Amino acid sequence: MSSNAEKFASEVDVTGFPGDVLPEQQKYEHPLVQRYATKEMSAIWSPAMKFTTWRKLWLALATAEQELGLKITDEQLDQMRSHLYDVDFAKAEEYESKFRHDVMGHVHAFGEVAPLAMPIIHLGATSCYVGDNTDIIQLKEGLKLVRRKLVQVLAVLRDFAQKYRDLPTLGFTHYQPAQLTTVGKRCTLWMQDLLLDYERVSYELENLPMRGVKGTTGTQATFLELFDGDHEKVKLLNQKVCSMMGFDKCIPVSGQTYTRKIDFHILSVLSGIAQSAYKMCGDIRLLANLKEVEEPFAKNQIGSSAMAYKRNPMRSERVCSLARYIMSLPAGAANTHANQWFERTLDDSAIRRIILPEGFLAVDVVLNLLQNIADGMVVWPRVVEKHVMDELPFMATEVILMECVKAGGDRQELHEAIRVHSMDAGKIVKSEGKPNDLLERIAADPLFASVHSKLESLVDPKLFVGRSMEQVDEFLADCIVPVLEKEKDLLEVEQVDGVNV
């Protein structure tokens, strides 16, 4: 009789499964899309957005061409306007399979529903007219959503910083205890990074140019031919199309494509947001280990399948994981830009289809998570205070020394006594695991009698935080509140997506 182990070996295919099993689940699903991405950012990078924008661009081009004198009828434009959103993707794929060209597949699919316009759709344009301009529009819309969520994160962190502006906590340098700060002041460090990111996003939004109407190699030669050599009309055509599509600026010169350096700049901004998020959530993870801070934890949430007691900072860990990926993307954009030969090579296409949408999808998730974490973050003041008091006696010795000297004590004698007491107290903490008893030792030493009555007040943690509280107030008033006032409309927009995992 076979053992169960032998049955397993003979009956279970550990490397695969029958072809007719779970047929609907045999296709890879991208976890960024299936598990994390929000509806809002997904919509911006969706086929619906992409291909309806193509149609809008064809309509804008034809409209501008008519205004500048080309023989395009109102009926042709009416048909195009009436069919901006009824994209037949199956028909477009059928044409693409026939022509081996995605843009011409959609030209013919558009022409089927707007037959009067078929002769003038894409007139004078190259594929990059719809492709590159749509990419720029998606970059712009993506940045607008990122800006909104950055502002919303800053608003939540503003409230947290205000609430804990005066709660003393250990500072850390080299992850070793250092001079005190406050919980709110530490929060402003996170906020300052995100504020710099907001400023970079705003700069890109204000300066992002449309590719416009440039032609096959960027010379506008075809359009010059269409307008019988009239340079002014060609220039006006470019300006009109960019304006109709919502852009104040168009790129001054181009090859076939807009310079791929723009992609690098945009992904670098997203990388900056990821860096800020990673730093903030890295701090939260370390503070969670100290049990000073916890991220939100749902009532029925399971921290570990094995260790039922655990409360892992899983959202902060997810932020760090996604941020690490986002930070890797600018390198791909840099190499793509550097390797564009002359007016254009197509080796930019495949990688851009991946890194541009994925960069935005991932940053959007990160910002949703940051807002969720900040909004529900729990601080445990007693634990914070305990850690402060474990270290504060050592930090307070200089104050104690000065007070005793002012009362007539011998500085050198007092210094030596403090040194001895500090070494002994430190030894007790490290070798026996007992609490820091330095203050008790000083309180029992007659040499320090002049401060015994006020020893407790000399080690009030708030005396050791410097200008932390004032810095919080000043930073919020001078740097954060003006942004929140400027962007108050963005704060009123409700989030479409929550954090479900």
Residue 299 burial (CB count, 10 A)? 4
**CB-CB contact of 173 with 189 (8 Å):** no
CA 338 to chain CA mean position, Å: 25
Q: Which of 2, 82, 304, 321 is catalytic?
A: 304
Please name which of 171, 192, 169 lies closest in space to residue 182, comparing C-alpha atoms. 169
Tokens read off for 294: 């916890």
β-strand 378-379 against 168-173: which pairing, if any? unpaired
3-state secondary structure of 25: helix
d(C-alpha 133, C-alpha 216), whole Å:
14
d(C-alpha 437, C-alpha 433), whole Å:
11
**CB-CB contact of 284 with 315 (8 Å):** no
d(C-alpha 288, C-alpha 137), whole Å:
41
CA 320 to chain CA mean position, Å: 11
The identity of residue 421, as a single letter, is H
β-strand 168-173 against 293-294: which pairing, if any? unpaired
3-state secondary structure of 123: coil
DSSP H helices in 339-410: 349-376, 381-406
The identity of residue 425, as a single letter, is A
Which helix (H) or strand (E) is 470 found in, with range? helix 468-475
Please name which of 414, 454, 453, 418 lies closest in space to residue 438, comparing C-alpha atoms. 418
d(C-alpha 270, C-alpha 335), whole Å:
17
Asked if 174 is an active-site residue, the reply is yes
Helix (H) and strand (E) counts for the chain? Answer: 21, 4
Give, as one character, the DSSP assignment of residue 347.
G
**Residue 299 — φ and ψ, nearest 5°?**
-55, -45
Tokens read off for 490: 């963005």
**The tokens 């909104």 sit on which residue?**
148
d(C-alpha 357, C-alpha 337), whole Å:
17
The identity of residue 486, as a single letter, is K
Q: Which of 3, 174, 305, 457 is catalytic?
A: 174
Residue 309, Cβ density class (10 Å: 0-12 exposed, 13-18 middle, ≥19 buried): exposed
β-strand 378-379 against 293-294: which pairing, if any? antiparallel
Q: Which residues are catalytic?
A: 174, 304
